Structure 1
Amino acid sequence: MTQPIPIFIGVDPRERAAVTVLIDSLYQHSSAPLAITPLVTPQLEAQGLYWRARDPKQSTAFSFSRFLVPHLMDYRGWGIFMDCDMLCRGDIAELWALRDERYAVLCVQHEHVPAETRKFQGEVQSAYPKKNWSSLILFQAGRCTALTPDYVNTATGLDLHRFHWLAGDHEIGALPDRWNHLVAVQPPPQRSAGEGGPVLLHWTLGGPWFREQRTMGEALAAEWFAARDAASRLWE
């Protein structure tokens, strides 16, 4: 029997609509069963897994809790982490098929140097090497044993997001750009997911679920609203 693909989604209480639409888009397009776990900070705190104070530069509730994924998997097998501010336009099983035993993690290796100093809801936009690499990660959990709860709760944000817990960058594999397209940062896609265009759209600057950013990405914002409406109709 095919085991479900384990997917962990970072949850921020301000982005509940984004979480709901992302989850629906994942299973609507998937050819394989999925095991989706939202990373909800109060739940992780109640389990004694997360206790660090909020950092002034922390823009979301899951900025650091994402690195608990290998521990939640008991350091066995592979798992996917993704930010909640995404929309899936294709089969996530195609991403799952890109697992590569040579690497501890795989991610899209953006060269994102933000021009702005603020992003959604007035949050600080921080610039650092490997910016946005950690927003979509394929973890080989057994090779990420340095990510204990103690380490995740005490390491600096830069050490976590720059993958300093690995032996070196040779342990980081590269995924195709289509698995983490930065909306309104990268040029608008010219092809659909089925034609080789982006599969995962990522509103890193803030998405259309925020009133003041309803048109972020223009046609892509309209696509998000269409996905939201399609999900809503399922309950009518």
Structure 2
Amino acid sequence: MALRIFIGWDSREGECSDVLAYSLRKHSSIPLEIKYLRLPDLAFNRTHDPLQSTEFTYTRFLVPFLCGYQGKAIFMDCDMLCLGDIKELDDLKMDGLALRVVKHDHRPPEKVKMDGKVQTVYPRKNWSSLMVMNCDHLRLWTKQVVETQTGGYLHRFQDVPDEQIDEIPNTWNVLDRMDAQTKLIHYTSGGPWFDNYRDHPFGKIWLDYRDEYRLHAAA
């Protein structure tokens, strides 16, 4: 059975989702079923939050609902690049767990990010940017809950017992840098697809993968 992966999709950076999907498939030793969380496809009824930085700020929490609350699925922000075999995350045991995440202590100094969006600071920031989900244990995230609950409630995993939230190796969600051990780089403030971040110190590798993706797509 293919590993289900849901990638956030935003109309301002749609190619990012394509590049991430390409990088996942390039390194994967297992079959992948990759889907994008496009707002027009989701019949999502939530008032726009002026603090949300992407179109998938809230829709990521629909993944268990979209999977019928069955099996395992992974959610990923689109502003990532995979450099390792995602099978490593698929192999992690989920018995008795609801989630696995990288438990960042992320306190960004910037006041703005991406294309001028406000940079917010809150507990468990970026924990929800990469989630391995045991969908059966996340029945509390109903469509109605995701459409109505606060951002704090959702992104801090309120009402998910702490003992059901385990870790992913931190090499799988490395924020704005990379080294020889990095399996996945996450461009949290903005990547080289934005004019303001063309000179990101680790932007060239993303641009190289983008060029590979474009050649592959055109073939």
- Cα 1:99–1:15 change in 2 (3 A) is farther
| TM-score where L is the length of structure 2 | 0.97
Runs of 4 or more consecutive aligned structure 1 residues displaced over 4 Å after TM superposition: none
Paired residue for 2:164? Answer: 171
Query: How much is the aligned-residue C-alpha RMSD, in angstroms?
Result: 1.0
SS at match of 1:121: coil
**Greater CA drift, 110-119 or 143-152:** 110-119
- Choose the corresponding residue for 2:94, options 93, 100, 106: 100
Question: Do the aligned residues in 2 keep the contact of 1:99 with 1:138 (CA within 8 Å)?
Answer: no
SS at match of 1:13: coil
| TM-score where L is the length of structure 1 | 0.90
Deviation for aligned residue 1:95? 1.3
Q: Deviations over 1:33-76 (max 9, x none)?
A: 1000100011112xxxx100110110000000000000000000
Paired residue for 2:29? Answer: 31
Distance in 2, matches of 1:9 and 1:232, equals 19
Paired residue for 2:15? Answer: 17
Aligned length: 218
- Give 5+ residue unaligned stretches, structure 2: none
- Give 5+ residue unaligned stretches, structure 1: 192-196
1:4 counterpart = 2:5: no
1:132 counterpart = 2:126: yes
Q: Deviations over 1:79-107 (max 9, x none)?
A: 00000000011111111111321311000
Paired residue for 2:74? Answer: 80
Paired residue for 2:174? Answer: 181
SS at match of 2:152: helix
Paired residue for 1:194? Answer: none
Q: Deviations over 1:160-206 (max 9, x none)?
A: 0000031x2111101111110101xxxx4331xxxxx1111110101
Deviation for aligned residue 1:115? 1.1
Question: Do the aligned residues in 2 keep the contact of 1:147 with 1:165 (CA within 8 Å)?
Answer: no
Q: Deviations over 1:183-235 (max 9, x none)?
A: 1xxxx4331xxxxx11111101011111221122x1x2110111111112222
1:232 counterpart = 2:214: yes
Percent identity of paired positions between Structure 1 and Structure 2: 44
Distance in 2, matches of 1:158 and 1:104, equals 18
**Structural mapping, 1:125-164, within 5 Å:** 125-164=119-158
Paired residue for 2:40? Answer: 42
**Greater CA drift, 222-231 or 96-105:** 96-105
SS at match of 2:56: coil
- Choose the corresponding residue for 1:207, options 170, 191, 216: 191
Paired residue for 1:69? Answer: 63
SS at match of 2:75: strand
